Amino acid sequence: MAYEPTGAPDYYNIDDLLTEEHLLIRQTMRDFVKREISPKIEQWAQDAHFPSEIVKKFGDVGAFGPTIPTEYGGGGLDYISYGIIMQEIERGDSGMRSTASVQGSLVMYPIYKYGSEEQRNKYLPKLASGEWLGCFGLTEPDFGSNPGGMVTNIKDMGDHYLLNGSKMWISNSPECQVAVVWAKNEEGRIKGLIVERGMEGFTTPEIHNKWSLRASCTGELVFDNVKVPKENLLPNIDGLRGPLGCLDSARYGISWGAIGAAIDCYESALKYSKERVQFDKPIGGFQLTQKKLAEMLTEITKAQLMVWRLGTLMNEGKATTQQISMAKRNSVDMALHIAREARQIHGGMGITGEYPIMRHMMNLESVITYEGTHDIHLLITGADITGIQAFK
């Protein structure tokens, strides 16, 4: 019998820490994922198909920019609500959560935080509704973990900027209408610009043959003498702290989202262990299987408590970049470990599309690398606790 997702495990009664609104939001997103994503996701992943129609549906259900004020089309919700939404989407699929994460944290957030009032009014409602899809251009072919080394650049031409360069591994790029792009000006300062589909010299080649995030569209951003109007520069930010501030918001969402993938793998393994009979009893009755399941639930519970506390700090404006790094790294590492253990419990069936395990495992291999790699997040924590930066 194929796996059917149920409710999330809550071994420490963490629901008691959530408000009625939080629980309602979770149920709404859970129902949405069960209806719109879960029945189709295995086929989308097998076919490497990005379902463009999901963008408008995400907009309708409020998955884009949940923390953006309602006056710009956002949800006006708190950060725990945002985390819950990301968790439920990633229980469906990490690629689907990537689509929502990028739109909310990496496109809408910088336009809201760093943009002019005119930019907010022009772009945010269309992004919130899903009428437009956006992407975030930071990573380059030669600069991933070291974004400060970027070579994409702008020149001031008087009435416009001339943008040249390229970006790599950009979620949503092949389907985007707008891109928030980070480039160096003539003084070497990093600036943010809003680049629109249709600007001459702006192309978005798709990246094919991925083994991971197969239901998400990934591509490049190529800028060949693109004329960007002066009014498309984000006026309220200067330097690397611009893109890094966006990444804080996105990494926070991932810290919740990856737990969703872990929960999906755990629940599938638990159900399978009760149904699969070997040596005249369900495999859930064997010590090694119980050890795996008990450790999975322990790690999920620890991560749930960590992200709930982090969400509280985010709501209070107290969360640090370093705390967000720790949570992102912990959640994704934990989820990958659980996916691998769950695959073993499922035996040979674990590699098939009958169950979500292998898809989650492959997806998480991207999630553990993007928006700060596993090792870089460790060094962010290390630099924070020792006062010595190990990057160079």
Render pLDDT for 4-30 as a digit per residue (tens, 0 to 9): 666 789 999 999 999 999 999 999 999
* Residue that finishes a domain, picked among 108, 133, 158: 133
Cβ atoms < 10 Å from Cβ of 4 = 10
Q: Which residues are catalytic?
A: 371
The domain of 196 spans 135-238
Residues composing the chain: 392
Q: Please give the single-letter amino acid code of residue 38.
A: S
Distance CA 260, CA 367 (A): 13
Domain assignment of residue 57, yes or no: yes
pLDDT tens track of the chain, all 392 residues? 455 666 789 999 999 999 999 999 999 999 999 999 999 999 999 999 999 999 999 999 999 999 999 999 999 999 999 999 999 999 999 999 999 999 999 999 999 999 999 999 999 999 999 999 999 999 999 999 999 999 999 999 999 999 999 999 999 999 999 999 999 999 999 999 999 999 999 999 999 999 999 999 999 999 999 999 999 999 999 999 999 999 999 999 999 999 999 999 999 999 999 999 999 999 999 999 999 999 999 999 999 999 999 999 999 999 999 999 999 999 999 999 999 999 999 999 999 999 999 999 999 999 999 999 999 999 999 999 999 999 87
Q: According to the model, what pLDDT value does residue 2 have?
A: 52
Rg (CA), the chain: 21
My answer on whether 141 and 121 are in the same domain is no
My answer on whether 155 and 224 are in the same domain is yes
Distance CA 70, CA 342 (A): 40
Cβ atoms < 10 Å from Cβ of 14 = 15
Tokens describing residue 30: 């859970």
Are 180 and 137 in contact by the 8 Å Cβ rule? The answer is yes
Q: According to the model, what pLDDT value does residue 6 have?
A: 67
Domain assignment of residue 68, yes or no: yes
User: For residue 346, which of 331, 364, 358 has the smallest C-alpha distance?
Assistant: 358
Are 57 and 105 in contact by the 8 Å Cβ rule? The answer is no
My answer on whether 348 and 378 are in the same domain is yes
User: pTM for the full model?
Assistant: 0.96
My answer on whether 164 and 75 are in the same domain is no
Q: According to the model, what pLDDT value does residue 266 have?
A: 98
Alpha-helical regions (H) of 276-389: 287-315, 321-345, 357-367, 374-386
My answer on whether 49 and 123 are in the same domain is yes
CATH of the domain at 89: 1.10.540.10
My answer on whether 209 and 220 are in the same domain is yes
Q: According to the model, what pLDDT value does residue 45 have?
A: 98
* Residue that finishes a domain, picked among 100, 133, 166: 133
Show the CA angle centred on residue 326, arms to residues 320 and 330, nearest 5°.
150
Q: According to the model, what pLDDT value does residue 1 have?
A: 46
Q: According to the model, what pLDDT value does residue 391 have?
A: 83
Q: According to the model, what pLDDT value does residue 270 have?
A: 97
* Residue that finishes a domain, picked among 133, 149, 168: 133
CATH of the domain at 171: 2.40.110.10
My answer on whether 340 and 283 are in the same domain is yes
My answer on whether 336 and 249 are in the same domain is yes
My answer on whether 349 and 253 are in the same domain is yes
